[in-house]
Chain A
Amino acid sequence: NAGVTQTPKFQVLKTGQSMTLQCAQDMNHEYMSWYRQDPGMGLRLIHYSVGAGITDQGEVPNGYNVSRSTTEDFPLRLLSAAPSQTSVYFCASGASAGTGELFFGEGSRLTVL
């Protein structure tokens, strides 16, 4: 019963470093997405994908890259980390956004110093 698996769960970076947050789902979902959650800001969409090979930007895409080479995986890359990217990151998947049912990973807590 893996569902959506995110790694790492915790990460501390220095400003300017790059890293990749991994996300994998085993439910054969076409739709995958990344959100960040900050106090007072709620969940904000970073990038999403409606299927392998297709990605699009959400509300706050700057500083992040994604790719979707397989149905199962949707990694989020931070190109040059900034303190403003300190946040909790959630990966979510679903059959489609239209169903309204997204399954979220447990979150990755990132701190950028």
Chain B
Amino acid sequence: RKEVEQDPGPFNVPEGATVAFNCTYSNSASQSFFWYRQDCRKEPKLLMSVYSSGNEDGRFTAQLNRASQYISLLIRDSKLSDSATYLCVVLNQAGTALIFGKGTTLSVSS
């Protein structure tokens, strides 16, 4: 089982839609989780951290379910500019490396 697994999509949604991505991780000892965004043929960039209590940044909400070992990202009121690949990221147990999922591709259309 891969350390971090994501549904690759693609998710094709209209503008204004709400879309949710899920991610599962295999190491129950993992402590830190993040979402990155990668635009086509560009470098990844940190979107947000995922806290145990859940956290929100504008239209984006990240949640963590430790019991089920999954992380989610909710995007409300999708914009064309949200079209990108969203990468689920887990800090390894030693705290020395970030493990990336393969990414979920989102395409928002008008």
Chain A residues packing against B (C-beta within 8 Å): 33, 35, 40-45, 48, 50, 56, 58, 90, 96-98, 100-102, 104-107
Contact = CB atoms under 8 A, between A and B. Distances in A.
> Residue among A33, A102, A107 with the most chain B CB within 10 A?
A102
Interface residues of B, number: 22
Given A33-B97, A50-B96, A104-B45, A40 B32 contact: no
* B contact face: mostly helix, strand, loop, or mixed: strand
A42 B96 contact: no
A42 B98 contact: no
Interface stretch (B13-21, B68-76, B99-107): B99-107
16 contacts: A33-B97, A42-B100, A44-B100, A45-B97, A48-B96, A90-B44, A96-B95, A97-B95, A100-B32, A100-B33, A100-B46, A100-B49, A101-B46, A102-B44, A104-B44, A107-B43
